[in-house]
Structure 1
C-alpha cells in the first residue's frame, strides 16, 4: 500500500511500491484504487520545459490529479482555498503528489524533467480556474 499523509483532502505525497535492486534496476508500480485514490480518466505528460518557465498557475473546480516526475526534478507549490500552503519536491520516479480539486498549483522543472499526470476527469476548459483573482474570489463564497 502507498505511504501518504493522513489528510486525503489536502495535497500530499504518495510513495509507490518498487521492486528491484541497483544491479538490475527498479520497477515502480501504480495500481489504481490502491496508490491512486481515484479512477484515472486521463493521462498526459510534459517534457523539455525550460527551467525559467513556471507552469500550472491554475486550479480545477472538479479535477483531482497525481503528478509524478518520472525523470528530473519538479518543485510543486500548492495553496488551498482555506489558505493552507505546501511545497513538494518531486525528484524520484517512485513518488507522486496528490492534488485535490480547488488546489492552486505551480510547478517549476529542471530542463530534463518529464512529468506524468493522472487525472480523474477528462479535459474540459470549464474546469480550469485560470486566474488567481478568480481563485481568491471562491474563498468568499
Structure 2
C-alpha cells in the first residue's frame, strides 16, 4: 500500500563547525517554493494544522525537536513522527493533516508550493470527506 506522504532526505554537508542542510526548489523539493513559514513555541498538548488543501504541496520539516503528523486521505490514516532537520515530509493535495505531540523547543518549518490562498483550504473535516469521496468516485 502506498503511503499518504513521502519522506524526502535532504542533502547535508557535514562539517566539524556545524552541518549545513540544503533544500532547493525543483531539485531536492519536488515543487517550486513560493512560501515558507514555521511554527514554534507550540504548547505540548496543542495541535496545529487541522485542514487539507485542494492544490497545495508542502514539505514539512522538524528543524528542532519533534512532532507527529497525522495524515488522512478519506479512506486511510497514518501517523508519522518528524524529528530530524534533514528529513522532510512531502504532503500533496487532498490529504488532511493534523500536527501534534510537539516536544519542548520544537520548530516546524513548512515549504509551500503556492502563496497563501484561503480558497485552497478545506478547514472542516466533513467537507474534506465529501471532497475525498467525490474524488474517489470519479477516479474509479
TM superposition score category, shorter chain reference:
0.7 to 0.9
Q: Distance in 2 between matches of 1:41 and 1:139?
A: 26
The equivalent position to 1:87 in structure 2, one of 79, 100, 112, is 79
Give the conservation status (yes or no) of the 8 Å contact 1:9–1:100.
Answer: no
Match of 1:102 in 2: 94
CA displacement at 1:31 relative to structure 2: 2.0
Calculate the TM-score normalised by the size of structure 1: 0.87
1:126 pairs, out of 104, 119, 126, with 119
- The partner residue of 1:78 within 71, 77, 84 is 71
Q: 1:48-73 CA distances to partner (integer Å, 9 max, x unpaired)?
A: 00011011111011111000111010
Report the TM-score, using the length of structure 2 for normalisation: 0.88
Query: Contact 1:71/1:114 (CA < 8 Å) preserved in 2?
Result: yes
1:14 aligns with 2:11: no
Partner of 2:137: none
User: Secondary structure at 1:126's aligned position in 2?
Assistant: helix
Listed as ranges, the gaps of 5+ residues in structure 2 are 135-140
Shift of 1:138: 1.1
Aligned length: 133
Higher share in helix: 2
- RMSD value, Cα: 1.8
Stretches of structure 1 lacking an aligned partner (at least 5 in a row): 1-6
